[in-house]
Structure 1
């Protein structure tokens, strides 16, 4: 089973870069990266030291409902290409572990699927979760701060 790593939508990234507001109705904050732990949720690469990035609230769900978590994320301030590969993205190789959680097609958490997984087991755990008939997608989050990284689906 092949996996597909899905970044935040390009139209949303473009809107934020052009003065649009985030999930809380706020303008993104502009910062300069120190090169340490600033993962872009659009290209799924780290923002290099000295490069500008935006900090904003992201709700990676299509509807407002009790399970639609919202939290702070980063993105290159300047245009970058959306990640489009099936290989594990660069931002998912920078920590020793990640929180994975399965969601149904209704965007609700599938209970019993959440857990902190060592990086080297991320893909096998995602495949196991996506093999469950009730799991439509897997969210990858920071194991330390619970920040959303990306979504994984079957390719």
Structure 2
């Protein structure tokens, strides 16, 4: 099986948002309290506890604008949290979800057609290994199966 790296958001970027840096829509991140109902932090890759402060903001997980560079809402802890270790295995947010949307992207940061599929989270590793057999796949996004929100990026280990 292919070794995987689960890439959380960069700590410098998250810290900049905590200091008020504008999001992908040019807006200051909103500060809210988590309802505890599944607000996954894209930095530590775990759920934000009920009543914990969080930021809600628009994020484009691509190097720049282009037709396939989707912008969507994400959550991050408003206070410090450790960045998820890339080689630590499947993050906690996927252990508590039944399904996830997985989609492959090419080196041009565009969707590789035919790779998008909603799968059980138990199949993340095996599906990623199968996708990474295709040399056209540079990386994979894991996204919310119900809302298409970016969760994290997968790369070959």
TM-score, normalised relative to structure 1 = 0.97
- 1:82 maps to 83
User: Structure 1: which 4+ aligned runs deviate by more than 4 Å?
Assistant: none
1:150 matched to 2:155: no
Query: What aligned pairs does 1:32-71 form with structure 2 within 5 A after superposition?
Result: 32-71=33-72
* Residues 72-97 of structure 1 deviation map (CA, whole Å, 9 limit, x = unaligned): 00000001111114200011122210
1:124 to 112, 123, 126: 126
The one of 102, 105, 110 aligned to 1:103: 105
RMSD of the alignment, in Å? 0.8
Per the alignment, residue 73 of structure 1 pairs with 74
Find the aligned partners of 2:133 and 2:11 in 1 and give their Cα distance.
28
Aligned to 2:115: 113
Q: Which consecutive residues of structure 2, in runs of 5 or more, have no partner in the other structure?
A: none
Consecutive unaligned residues in structure 1, runs of 5 or more: none
Shift of 1:34: 2.0
How many residues of Structure 1 are paired with residues of Structure 2 in the alignment? 155
**Distance in 2 between the 1:39 and 1:145 partners?**
13
Q: State the Cα deviation string for residues 79-130 of structure 1 (Å, max 9, x = none).
A: 1111114200011122210000000111010011000011111111011111
Alignment TM-score, normalising by the size of structure 2 = 0.96
